[in-house]
Each structure stands twice: as C-alpha cells, then as structure tokens.
C-alpha cells in the first residue's frame, strides 16, 4: 500500500436532512490518478466540495497529507496544495495563454517572496515549459478568446499546474470536446500524473478508458464499487444503476444536464 495523500473517513454531508454524501469512505495514494464516475446526483460535485473545504462534512473526517481539514478555510486548504479545475474554463480571454500563465506564476511568486524573500527562479522558463506541456507553444501569443474549447481547457489545466498543487481535482475536463481534443486532454492528464496526484470526475466512458487505472463509482452519496475500468463496467450493480438512469431518461424523468 502506498502513502495516502487523501483519506475520507465516514463522511456524511446533509443538506436540510438530505444526505448528498452518506458515510463515504475513500482514499487516494500519493501519485495516483483516479477517475470518479456515477450517475447524475450521485454526489460527485459534493465530494470535491468537501475536499476543497467549500462544504464541510456534517459528520466524518477529511485528511489531506494526514492533516484533518475540518478547521481550515477554503483558501488555506488551497494553499496546502489542493488545486481544482472547474468544468467551465476560468481564463482571461483578452490575454494570451502566455500572459494567463504569467499571471498565475506571478501570484505564486508573490506568495513565495512574501514568505521567503525574493525568488531567483527563471519564471519565463517555467511559463515556456508549461506552454510546452499543455501543447500551446504555437498559440502562446494569440488572445485566449481565439483558442478552441479544448485548448482553453488545456490552458486552464496549465494554470492549475502553475499553482504547484500536490493534488489536482479536475471536474469533467472533456465535456463538449471533439474526439481529438479529448485525446489531447487525456494525454496531458497522463503526463501530469507522473508528478501529481490527480482526481478526475468524468462521464465520458471512452475518455475514462483512455486515462483510468482505477475507477471509483459513486451512487447515492456512497462508494458503490472500485476497480479497473473492465471490472467496473461489468459489475452488475453498476450496470443496474446506469440502466436505471437510462430508463428514467426515456420516461422523461429529471436529469440536471
Ligand atoms: N446545496 C445543496 N442543497 C441541497 N441539495 C443539494 C445541494 N448540493 C447538492 N445537492 C443535492 O445532492 C445530491 C448530489 O449532488 P451533486 O451535485 O454532488 O451530484 P453529482 O454527482 O455531481 O451530479 P451531476 O453529475 O448531475 O453533476 C443531488 O441530489 C443534489 O440535488
């Protein structure tokens, strides 16, 4: 068993009595890339919210690098090394990818110099290295508004990495992307997984197959099962949960997407 970077112990989150997470137990090894799947309303977003501190557990503990996050505010948790990428890109469209990355790196540098004095690091090198990692060197000086949806997603992943988090939380990174862009984002996450711990929430099963080593299936706020993609896709409980959802769709019952 590897060293744990994240441990969720018996976490319940109640919203006015409704349990969005129910006695959830989960752990992530340092350096692991894990994909979380589950039908609509399974609790995936709430799960990320309790890790970032946006939502506090009603019961249970969230440990990051062995430290209980209960008393910490969202920005303190971010500073401990948890970075989150939301579904919609949050980049400055009037700036270029290079400028977007420079801003993020500068913010980091400022924080660093406040704590430890003037930095000597060659920041430009960091920015150009990041541009290369996310495959945007050729478009580095175009306004970000001109980038494709997939390039914007990759830029935002680059901005997340620029904050040097130990754990990256990535929410549906390929929603609405072309097949080619989906593969690019997948390759980027696989490359980043060599030096980061990463959790990805995703619906696109082809993409899950591309990147996932281990998959966790959430259902009604708890872990339904875990395993490699084939184990999970062939698990009768998973099939039942997803088929049930298909039937609901056909009958016109509520999906939030
Ligand atoms: N602030 C809130 N107040 C009340 N109920 C909430 C709140 N946030 C989430 N819920 C409910 O908790 C359940 C889990 O929601 P959550 O958004 O975590 O699911 P999800 O798996 O991310 O769903 P989706 O795939 O549709 O985004 C849902 O039934 C949702 O309606």
Q: What is the ipTM of this complex?
A: 0.95
CA of 19 to the centre of ligand 1 (A): 10
Q: Which domains does the chain have, with CATH numbers?
A: 4-90+165-250 (3.40.50.300)
Cα–Cα distance measured from residue 95 to residue 143, given in angstroms and rounded to the nearest whole number: 5
Q: How far is the CA of 257 from the centre of ligand 1 (A)?
A: 12
Q: Are 177 and 150 in contact (CB under 8 A)?
A: yes
> Does the structure show a pLDDT above 80 at 42?
yes
DSSP tally for the chain: helices H, then strands E: 9, 10
Please report which confidence band the pLDDT of residue 256 belongs to, taking 50, 70 and 90 as the band edges.
very low
Is ligand 1 within 6 A of the CB of residue 20? yes
Strand 167-171 relative to strand 197-201, pairing: parallel
Ligand 1 within 6 A of 31 CB? Answer: no
User: How far apart, in whole angstroms, are the C-alpha atoms of residue 76 and residue 90?
Assistant: 21
How far is residue 69's CA from residue 51's CA, in Å, rounded to a whole number? 8
Q: What proportion of the chain, given as a percentage, has pLDDT over 90?
A: 70
Mutate to test the pocket of ligand 1, among 14, 18, 20 (most ligand atoms within 8 A of CB): 20
**What percentage of the chain exceeds 70 in pLDDT?**
87
Q: Contact 101/130 with Cβ under 8 angstroms?
A: yes
Pairing of strands 59-64, 4-15: antiparallel
Confidence of residue 122 (pLDDT cuts 50, 70, 90): very low
Whether residue 217 contacts residue 223, with contact meaning beta carbons closer than 8 Å, is answered with yes
Pocket test for ligand 1, best of 36, 41, 254 (most atoms within 8 A of CB): 41
Computed on alpha carbons and rounded to an integer, the radius of gyration of the chain in Å comes to: 19
CA nearest neighbour of 203 among 195, 192, 194, 212: 212
């Amino acid at each position: 068993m590897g060293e744990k970077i994240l441990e969720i112990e018996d976490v319940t989150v109640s919203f006015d009595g409704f349990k969005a997470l129910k006695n959830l137990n989960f752990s992530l090894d340092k350096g692991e890339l894990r994909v979380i799947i589950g039908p609509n309303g399974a609790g995936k977003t709430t799960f990320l919210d309790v890790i970032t501190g946006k939502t506090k557990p009603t019961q249970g503990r969230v440990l990051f690098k062995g430290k209980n996050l209960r008393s910490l505010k969202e920005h303190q948790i971010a500073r401990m090394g948890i970075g989150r990428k939301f579904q919609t890109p949050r980049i400055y469209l009037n700036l270029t990818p290079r400028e977007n990355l420079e801003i993020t790196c500068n913010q980091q540098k400022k924080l660093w110099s406040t704590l430890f004095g003037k930095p000597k690091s060659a920041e430009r090198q960091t920015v150009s290295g990041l541009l290369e990692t996310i495959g945007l060197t050729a478009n580095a000086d175009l306004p970000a508004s001109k980038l494709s949806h997939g390039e914007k997603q990759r830029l935002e992943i680059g901005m997340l990495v620029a904050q040097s988090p130990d754990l990256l939380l990535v929410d549906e990174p390929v929603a609405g992307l072309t097949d080619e862009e989906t593969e690019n984002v997948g390759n980027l996450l696989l490359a980043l997984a060599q030096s980061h711990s990463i959790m990805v929430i995703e619906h696109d099963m082809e993409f899950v197959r591309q990147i996932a080593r281990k998959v966790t299936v959430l259902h009604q706020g708890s872990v339904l099962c875990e395993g490699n993609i084939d184990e999970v896709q062939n698990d009768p409980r998973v099939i039942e949960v997803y088929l049930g959802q298909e039937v609901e769709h056909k009958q016109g019952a509520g999906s939030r997407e």
